[in-house]
Chain A
Amino acid sequence: MARRAAFLAGAGAAALAAGLALAQAPGPAPEPHRTITSPESGRNYATPETLAIQDDDFQNPAFLWVEEGEQAWNHPAGSAGQSCASCHQDATASMRGVRARYPAYNAAKGRVVTLEQQVNICRTERMGAPELRIDSRELNAMTAFIGLQSRGMPMNVDISGPARPFFDRGEEFYNTRRGQLDMRCGSCHEDNYGRSLRADLLSQGMSNGFPTYRLKEQRVISLQFRLQGCVNDVRGEPPAMGSEEFTNLEFYLAWRAQGLPVETPSVRR
């Protein structure tokens, strides 16, 4: 008995020493804390009428955008005379899983980029085409089309290695109180999901359905357009769409939704 306790104590000391060594030398960052351990999709917070529109690919108006995105995929744009398909061929094969792992660290850029930004990198650097404005109809059509190819696949972003500092900044943004209402993102989406804010049922704020057809806007919207709305709602000054702040936040949000199936293009109120 005594011998065993002594052995355990020894093991503990060894682990402690190892931990101290880790803290001093550069090594893998600690696993981040997950406030919501079993995330729920926004569809769990939608009415049956809204879900009926999402669950029928014909009724879902976002498929008007998907079809435009598919046409653009195969259509050459820019001075290089290339289309997306010139490099990536059949999107149903080449884009499968892409939405699930974005935003992602781009080594050449030395930062995390969103799917929208990656499309624009392709356009400017490969196709000789101008950037598409974030949240423009053309760009939302393209990301809806690309996103659809991952529908049903679990969200799976990689926050390790060089991506980690961007993740940490996104987490910090998430947890920073802002606006005249002095609220953090989690004030609604962690502390109060399942409760009503006036007539709106607060969701967990999961991003797995974006881009989404929003009933209010009656169009497909990008995640960062919605994020601007959230910051406005707490009477804050939202960062620009495509800004570093929102890109890092989008990266953190994707990790929060880790494991949830991609629902792009979803329908939300």
Chain B
Amino acid sequence: MMQATTLGRRGALAAAAGLVGLSLLPKPAAAQMEPATAAAIRKIIGERTPEEGRVQLRLPPIAENGNTVPLTVTVESPMTAADHVKAVHVFADKNPTPDVATFRFSPAMGRAQADTRIRLGQTQDVIAVAEMSDGKLYISRAEVKVTIGGCGG
């Protein structure tokens, strides 16, 4: 991988560690993740294991243009002081750098949702990891096909 060639031996080891870490992630959310994405997720959640579910990504299955793709994340949560979503981290598996955004939530929101517009360099999976106030982690992914248009102009 590019990481291994540019970072040298230590980078290769780190990437390998990321791949090993992948086995901790539930399938299919962990299926075929780039080492850089796995490393970016590990950087935030450490060695903890996210579960499937509760966090939802809403994206068009086919993006008309990868430069402006509407994204909505929602998490099932009562959003009370005792039980709420702390953050949702969003990654694009095959972008030049996988980080897309981190949303930090609070009970003052009343509902766990955020909307924005993102850039996707190619057809790929977008991955969301939600951190809950009780320390639990949830993960989900959604594929977006990014079309190569005929009209380059």
Binding site for B on A (CB under 8 A): 46-47, 49-50, 52-53, 196-200, 215-218, 226, 228-233, 269
Contact = CB atoms under 8 A, between A and B. Distances in A.
Contact of B152 (A50, A217, A229): A229
Contacts of B153: 226, 228-233
Nearest to A269: B64
A218 B147 contact: no
Contacts of B65: 215-216, 269
Interface of B: 60, 62-65, 67-68, 70, 147-153
Contacts of B60: 47, 49
Most buried by A among B64, B67, B152: B64
8 contacts: A53-B70, A198-B149, A200-B147, A215-B67, A230-B153, A232-B152, A269-B64, A269-B149
B84 to A, nearest CB: 27
Given A228-B153, A232-B153, A233-B150, 13 more contacts: A47-B64, A49-B60, A53-B70, A197-B150, A197-B151, A198-B150, A200-B149, A217-B67, A218-B68, A229-B151, A230-B151, A231-B153, A233-B151
Contacts of B64: 46-47, 49-50, 215, 269
Contacts of B67: 215-218
B153 to A, nearest CB: 2
Contacts of B150: 196-200, 233
Nearest to A232: B153
A95 to B, nearest CB: 29
B66 to A, nearest CB: 9
Contacts of A231: 153
Nearest to B68: A215
Nearest to A234: B153
Most buried by A among B60, B63, B147, B153: B153
A75 to B, nearest CB: 30
Contacts of B70: 49, 52-53
A197 B150 CA distance: 5
A200 B148 CA distance: 8
Contacts of A46: 64
A226 B152 CA distance: 10
A233 B152 contact: yes
Contacts of A232: 152-153
A38 to B, nearest CB: 23
Nearest to B63: A49
B68 A199 contact: no
